[in-house]
Amino acid sequence: MSLYEKFDSAAMTATNKLVMAWNWTTGRTKSDLANSLVYFGGAAIPAGSFIRDSLIGGAILSLFYLPLSVMLTKRNKQVESTESSALERGLKDLRVEKIKESYGQTGLVFTLGGSTQLLSDPLSAGDYCSFAGIEAIALAHYVMRADCLPPRKNVLSRAADSLKEAIQQPALQTVPIKLNYSGD
């Protein structure tokens, strides 16, 4: 197993657990999580340049990353929809699998690219902000490769439903039972 395969396997194991926890807690799907990460990243990357007082760099990055965020979120929803409908029929969509493969490659590129933000010395708040944005987009790519889970009620709604159900059940009452027992 190559170093990349080991990294990818470990990253996907952790990402699947993250997506399961997200789905269990919020009831939302993996594309909702990925899209939140993409929007955060698309805003944080140019913000890092503005924090570094690079107004032109921030403006250029804004013109690139903000539309990219919108395009990625639309694609994520479309991929999830296609994947869900294929899984409902017990199938895998070949186009989705190819897209997920490309997500793995671009996720790695963003992961490594984000690391370059930490190479400057000394590090500024802008460097950390850009790093967080790039890594959020990288994580979004890994999230979109995770297992597809259906939407559900969030944990608080499920707890409230369980509590209502427990309250509505009739109270237990003792019922006398006649025993045919003759004591000697």
Model confidence over 109-156: pLDDT tens digits?
999 988 888 887 788 999 999 999 999 999 999 999 999 999 999 999
Task: Confirm whether 72 is domain-assigned.
Answer: yes
80 Cβ contact partners less than 8 Å away, ≥ 6 residues apart: 29, 30, 31, 144, 148
Q: What are phi and psi of 123, to 5 degrees?
A: -80, 140
Whether the CB-CB separation of 58 and 137 falls below 8 Å is answered with: no
* Residue-range definition of the domain harbouring residue 56: 3-168
Total structural domains within the chain: 1
Task: Confirm whether 53 is domain-assigned.
Answer: yes
Task: Confirm whether 109 is domain-assigned.
Answer: yes
Task: Confirm whether 71 is domain-assigned.
Answer: yes
Task: Confirm whether 174 is domain-assigned.
Answer: no
Task: Confirm whether 7 is domain-assigned.
Answer: yes
pLDDT digits (tens, 9 = 90+) for 131-141: 999 999 999 99
